[in-house]
Amino acid sequence: MNRTGCKDDMRTLEERFWSHVDVKGDDDCWEWKAKKVEGYGQIRLGSASSGSELAHRVSYQLAYGPIPPGKIVCHRCDNRGCVNPAHLFLGSYGDNSRDMVEKNRSMKGERHWNAKLTEAQVIAIRAEFIPGSTDQLAEKYGVDRNTIEEIINHRRWIHVP
């Protein structure tokens, strides 16, 4: 039984879907209020054996129809929990990646999960570098000498001046 006293499997997917959405103004994000995985809403499609789907994909399909093969549903608003159909558009993985880079959301520099340096340290490394100082800089900043060389030669941290 759900909050309304109905068995979930008695309601249509569309009815179950909209019962989990905080609908606001046309231009606002409509937040998914139920289960999320890595920030994306998720909804069971029917019985337990039929699996689940990402909520923004279901929203798109309810509003616009099937998702063509090879396409993904992207967010204009960059809010993974948003299911407002007006914020969703079809694209390729490449389109989604370009959108991420254009909006400066890529995991580069300090935002990368494996970053060992800050942008300030990269600027300092470039300022402190003199020929022959690679090993000393590597030791000082706790990174490999190849990392220092790639920073100096602008092959790493290329977005930092």
Q: From first to last of its 161 residues, what are the pLDDT tens digits of the chain?
A: 444 444 545 789 999 999 999 999 999 999 999 999 989 999 998 766 678 999 999 999 999 999 999 999 999 998 999 999 999 999 999 998 888 878 877 777 887 778 899 999 999 999 999 999 999 999 999 999 999 999 999 998 988 88
Q: Indicate if 53 and 115 belong to the same structural domain.
A: no
Residue from 109, 67, 108, 69 nearest 89 by CA: 67
Burial of 152 (0-12, 13-18, 19+ CB in 10 A): middle
3-state helix, strand, coil split of the chain in percent (to 5) is: 40, 15, 45
Task: State the pLDDT at residue 50.
Answer: 74
Q: Does residue 49 sit in the same domain as residue 93?
A: yes
Q: Which of 102, 125, 140 is the last residue of a domain?
A: 102
Residue 132: which domain range?
Answer: 109-152
Residue 159 is assigned to a structural domain of this protein: no
Domain presence at residue 158:
no
Query: Do 115 and 45 share a structural domain?
Result: no
Same domain, yes or no, for 91 and 135? no
Based on the domain organization, do 148 and 119 belong to the same domain?
A: yes
H helices within the chain, ranges in order? 13-18, 55-64, 93-102, 119-128, 134-141, 145-152
Q: 99-126 burial, b if ≥16 CB within 10 A, otherwise e?
A: beeeeeeeeebeeeeeeebeeebbeebb
Same domain flag for 52 and 131:
no
Residue 1 lies in a domain: no
Confidence at residue 48, expressed as pLDDT on a 0 to 100 scale? 66
**Same domain, yes or no, for 66 and 97?**
yes
Residue 77 and residue 28 in one domain: yes
Q: What is the pLDDT of residue 105?
A: 76
- 93 and 113, same structural domain? no
Same domain for 77 and 145:
no
- Together in a domain, 121 and 136: yes
| pLDDT score of 2 | 46
pLDDT of residue 149: 96
> How many separate domains does the chain show?
2
Q: How confident is the model at residue 1, as a pLDDT? A: 43
Same domain for 22 and 98, yes or no, is yes
- Give the whole-angstrom CA distance, residue 39 versus residue 145: 37
**Would you give the distance in Å from CA 153 to the centre of its chain?**
30
Task: Tell me whether residue 2 is in a domain.
Answer: no
